[in-house]
Amino acid sequence: MLFSQAQGRRVVSTADADTVGLIDGYVIDPTRQQVVALNLKKTAGSGDVLPWPDLLAFGDDAVTVERSTVVVEADERIAELSGKHHTILRKQVLTTSGQQIGKVQDVDFDPADGRILTLILDNQVQVAGTNLLGVGSYAVVVRS
Amino acid sequence: MSTLIRASALAKLPVVTFAGEDIAQLKDIVYAANGGQIGAFTLAGRGIFAGPLKTSLPWAAVVGLGPDAVIIESEEVLQPTSDVIGSAGDGATGGGDILKSEVLTDTGTSLGRVVDVIIGIGGGGRDQADVVGYEIEPAESLGRGKQHLLIPLPDTLAASGEHLMVPASASDYLTDDLSAFGTAVDAFRSQLAGGR
């Protein structure tokens, strides 16, 4: 599933069938090539982070969670990964041979486990998620 | 043949870690092995007001060198500049600057002055970076006009910081086209190897 496809999707709690928020962004851990949390908007409380392990299912129409309390404030690790420096979208991509190959336009991930499958660049180039090395303030680095 | 890059094009290239941070930019090249290879890079901070850094980047720590960046694993591979220059120096270039040196053939003809260094980067990344040639401002006696010429180098050469010695036959392979230069270097080197 693409980041852009799931953007704005409802997150629903199965305990009381309430919408707890809408998907607003993705927190990824580049060293594990994994989506580790979702950023939500329009949440009831002050928390706006949904850690990936607390998801029940990533469905085509909604994301389900057990109860609304799984939406928390970012812990240290997630806050560090979700900073502006670590957003992956629209960032230039450098290969380990020192070549700029494009900018990240979208990311394909596995809704079952959050694995990053493919980076899709603005020039239609696709990079396998397993080649992702890091996302920093300057660039996304991928193995060439 | 490997990719050819002008040394002047390397200056200011960002040094990027696997984590995607640009921690420095290239400032200058420290040549090793009598000016025949790149030994290390000295570094400057990023940004207009950043000065030179006290650390340098040994060539062995470079993962990839391309047109847009130099990739290294992490900041930890950088070493104090004094250590790097000490080990690469080894009587190599006599502390002299390669640019502006006069290129002399072993028969005593001046070919011109060095304005840039052409570096061949091996395909595998961590391979040595070989100095394959110089871009020279031709001497008038050459009768080739003012246009800069590229001159291939043998694998090893003598450099004093004042003069660079090349075999007389190098002048047969002068060219003004970087894209065709790789073939000229190969032809020149195989001719030298065959002659021995």
Residue of A nearest to B66 (CA): A98
Is B124 an 8 Å CB contact of chain A? Answer: no
DSSP string, A23-40: EEEEEEETTTTEEEEEEE
Q: Do B64 and A95 touch (CB under 8 A)?
A: yes
What pLDDT does residue B170 have?
84
B145: left (phi over 0), alpha (psi -120 to 50) or beta: left
Residues of A in contact with B17 (CB under 8 A): 134, 136, 141
Residues of B in contact with A135 (CB under 8 A): 19-20
Q: Percentages helix, strand, coil for chain B, rounded to the nearest 5?
A: 25, 40, 35
Residue of B nearest to A98 (CA): B66
DSSP string, B84-106: HHHHHHTTSSTT--STTPEEEET
B3-89 is classed CATH 3.40.720.10: no
Is B127 an 8 Å CB contact of chain A? Answer: no
**What does the alpha-carbon distance between residue B87 and residue A142 come to, in Å, rounded to a whole number?**
32
What pLDDT does residue B150 have?
87
Q: Which amino acid is at B107?
A: T
Q: pLDDT tens digits for chain B (196 residues)?
A: 467 888 888 888 999 999 999 999 999 888 876 667 788 899 999 887 788 899 999 988 999 888 899 999 999 999 988 877 766 544 444 455 777 888 888 888 888 888 888 888 765 444 567 788 888 888 887 777 788 888 888 766 666 667 888 888 888 888 888 888 888 888 887 777 765 4
Q: pLDDT tens digits for chain A (144 residues)?
A: 999 999 999 999 999 999 999 999 999 999 999 999 999 999 988 889 999 999 999 999 999 999 989 999 988 888 888 877 888 999 999 999 899 999 999 999 999 999 999 999 999 999 999 999 999 999 999 998
What pLDDT does residue A114 have?
94
**What does the alpha-carbon distance between residue A129 and residue A35 come to, in Å, rounded to a whole number?**
11
Is B80 an 8 Å CB contact of chain A? Answer: no
Is B10 an 8 Å CB contact of chain A? Answer: no
Give me the domains of chain A, ranges plus CATH numbers.
3-83 (2.30.30.240), 86-142 (2.30.30.240)
User: Which H or E element spans position B192?
Assistant: helix B178-195
Instruction: Report the complex ipTM.
Output: 0.87
Tokens of B147: 């246009």
Q: Do A141 and B16 touch (CB under 8 A)?
A: yes
What pLDDT does residue A118 have?
96
Residues of chain B with CATH 2.30.30.240: 3-89
Q: Do A140 and B20 touch (CB under 8 A)?
A: yes
> Scanning the structure block, which residue is given the tokens 């920093």?
A136
What pLDDT does residue B2 have?
64
Q: How many CB atoms lie within 10 A of CB A136?
A: 21
